[in-house]
Structure 1
Amino acid sequence: MGLSKATFTVKDFVGFGQRHGIDYVFGDTDAEDLSILKGRVVEAQVRPGWQLTFSDVDVLHSYASSSTRTAPLFICVVLEGVIDVAIDQRQHRLSAGSALSARLAEQVALCVHQAAGQRLRTLNLSLDQSAIAALGDHPEVAALLHAERPDLHIWPLPGFLTPVLEQAVQLQSQPRSQPQSQPRSQLQSQPRPSAGQRQLMLEAICLQLLSHGLAFVPHQRDSSLSPTERKRLEDVRRHLHEDPAHAWSLEELATLASMSSSSLRTKFQRCFATSLFDYLRERRLLLAHELLSQGTSVQQAAFACGYGHTSNFSTAFRRRFGIPPSALAQRA
């Protein structure tokens, strides 16, 4: 474990960037003592070539980063807050419950922007070539790891995985020893895992991220979709992602894609392994989860995510997350 402190300055970022191959930009300032983040960042080498980073911070000053080294696989999960990412001139916005898988190369840099004034909680997992090779001992896993896939893939975090990652972040953010003033009964009810148990938990989390981050990518590219069709389908997906509150109709989306309605339905499913409106529903519910976590009322969250009736919203939310939206709103 390493790199855990209350405040991170430009100087800290420069050192981190030199270790991990990242260039940072902090606007028009280069003052080394300028505070950028306040909170906790924990690094862990889970296995040889596996770098896991937990961040739970308040962003005090906006900044941008750009990767400078190759990484055959990089996964980023956003648990709270918003980040803007770009790769190969394609831009995306990730909010709570979203994740990305990327293949980084010297000529294909991942650029990320974090805006000031927000709490940001993320998990990053990076595997180098030796780690990929070690995982490839199993033929089926090797086929998955080496399958042709895009440089950047955005995917929704499965609902059951969110609390597991939340628990992991909380665990890594707590001190190893409990304060002596804490009542013994509370200590007994919440036993601390040993170092070995922590290690197994981290490995399990990494494997979960790998399995879900790669599972949404087809093993073989569908040659029946032309590059032009793929670009149009990506434009449709981007519209759904960036404006989930809009009352999208199939006809409107088909016009955006310059396709017939039936063709759009079929080709979107083929390209993204999910239907148009399943994708839209997932995006809406993940956004609603983020809004409710920030204290937004159930009614406001429903309307902000395109639901005209709170009863329909509550039913969909409970089906997706296993709890009513009011329960999450009360926690906030």
Structure 2
Amino acid sequence: MTSIAAHPISGPTPQLLTSQTLQQLGLRFGIDYQIDGACAGLAPVAQGSVHDVSLPNSLHLTLSDLQVERTYWSASRRSVPWFICVVLEGHINATVGSQCFALTAGDGLCAHFNPQHSLTVCQPAQPRLRTVNLAVLATHPHGLPLPPAKPLLHHWRLPESLINALRDTIDQPPNACRQLLVWQGLALQLLGHGLPSGPQPPQKAHAEPQRPETRLTPRDRQCLEQLHQRIAEQPMLTYYLHDLARDAAMSPSSLRQKFRACYGYSVFDHLRQCRLAQAYRDLQRGYSVQQTAHACGYRHATNFATAFKRAFGIAPHEVHHRH
């Protein structure tokens, strides 16, 4: 994904984004960042504010307001059913496969992408870049269209009333209870205006015989959050679906469906990404590529190197040699 807007840059304590902090964000969200020219780890790339807002029903907002001092690119490796980005101030360039759009204030994009065809966004150096990003982690809670089989990038123009509402809301403290309700309403408006009109049929209850199994109760969400965190904190352990399902008091098929419904990716996609993130940190600490590959469960370093480069856009030996 890319940067996103929140508090004004003129605030008392703007956040500094360096290549080091971008790398940390990338490990967390599955994003590969590249910075124009040589840039030391603590040299500023941008300054301002970036804020995440988790909304009910599998919606996640990222708000940012940045002064971009050095052009940088973000390549999103993880896949979600739908991703929306709108520009409130400044300009960016977005690419998925052969599709490419230049976005300025008032423009929006809706994307579906995958690790093989990532969403790449260029954030040029500029005095102010304010954006709002919305990731849809599961489509069925809102009856949204299924994503297409192939990557997609759809460009659209926001109605003036929605632009004004976003600009008015983005400067308010985002954690207040009432503000969360406001953002939830705005997120639904973004989906209503930004999703492409196409042949993809909306999800219907009769389209999937096991639809009731994908409805998440509060207990389901609590169990899934605990499982998600457990894997993130201990990715190098050996996990079996049957054992995870037993711990969550679910059947294996129910766990598969509910985990994907909650997060937009499978249990073992999450495990793989967490292991690769741990591998990145191990390489930084000086572990060899062979040691790191074996720790991740790869018998052959070449297979590990392929997966690592697909996830981060850089070969593991390059990370190892840097440190």
TM-score (norm 1): 0.53
After TM superposition, list the pairs within 5 Å mapping 1:66-215 onto structure 2: 66-128=75-137, 131-135=138-142, 141-142=143-144, 144-145=145-146, 151-172=152-173, 195-214=176-195
After TM superposition, list the pairs within 5 Å mapping 1:257-268 onto structure 2: none
Residue type at the aligned position of 2:26: G
How big is the shift at 1:19? 1.0
Q: Deviations over 1:83-138 (max 9, x none)?
A: 0111112221000110000002112211111111331000000112xx32322xxx
> In the alignment, is residue 217 of structure 1 matched against residue 218 of structure 2?
no
| Structure ranking higher on relative contact order (CA contacts 8 Å, 6+ apart) | 2
- Distance in 1, Cα, partners of 2:53 & 2:61: 5
Q: Which runs of 5+ in 2 are unaligned?
A: 1-5, 8-12, 202-323
Q: What number of residue pairs does the alignment pair up? A: 191
- Distance in 1, Cα, partners of 2:112 & 2:106: 21
How big is the shift at 1:77? 0.2
After TM superposition, list the pairs within 5 Å mapping 1:231-246 onto structure 2: none
Contact 2:82 2:147 in 1 (8 A): no
- Distance in 2, Cα, partners of 1:18 & 1:147: 27
> In the alignment, is residue 38 of structure 1 matched against residue 47 of structure 2?
yes
Contact 1:41 1:55 in 2 (8 A): yes
Q: Deviations over 1:264-289 (max 9, x none)?
A: xxxxxxxxxxxxxxxxxxxxxxxxxx
Show the counterpart of 1:14. Answer: 23
How big is the shift at 1:145? 4.2
- Distance in 1, Cα, partners of 2:194 & 2:135: 12
- RMSD, aligned α-carbons: 2.5
The alignment partner of 2:63 has SS state of: strand
- Distance in 1, Cα, partners of 2:21 & 2:69: 14
Residue type at the aligned position of 1:166: R
Show the counterpart of 2:226. Answer: none
User: In 2 relative to 1, CA 134–10 (structure 1 residues): closer, same or farther, beyond 3 Å?
Assistant: same
User: In 2 relative to 1, CA 202–210 (structure 1 residues): closer, same or farther, beyond 3 Å?
Assistant: same
The alignment partner of 2:172 has SS state of: helix
Which structure 1 residue ranges, 4+ long, deviate > 4 Å from structure 2? Answer: 2-5, 145-150
- Distance in 2, Cα, partners of 1:19 & 1:150: 23
After TM superposition, list the pairs within 5 Å mapping 1:294-305 onto structure 2: none
> In the alignment, is residue 64 of structure 1 matched against residue 73 of structure 2?
yes
Q: Deviations over 1:238-266 (max 9, x none)?
A: xxxxxxxxxxxxxxxxxxxxxxxxxxxxx
- Distance in 1, Cα, partners of 2:113 & 2:148: 15
Contact 1:98 1:157 in 2 (8 A): yes
Contact 2:92 2:103 in 1 (8 A): yes
- Distance in 2, Cα, partners of 1:218 & 1:60: 39
Contact 1:75 1:125 in 2 (8 A): yes
How big is the shift at 1:49? 3.1
Residue type at the aligned position of 1:155: W
- Distance in 2, Cα, partners of 1:220 & 1:133: 14
User: In 2 relative to 1, CA 98–62 (structure 1 residues): closer, same or farther, beyond 3 Å?
Assistant: same
Residue type at the aligned position of 1:80: E
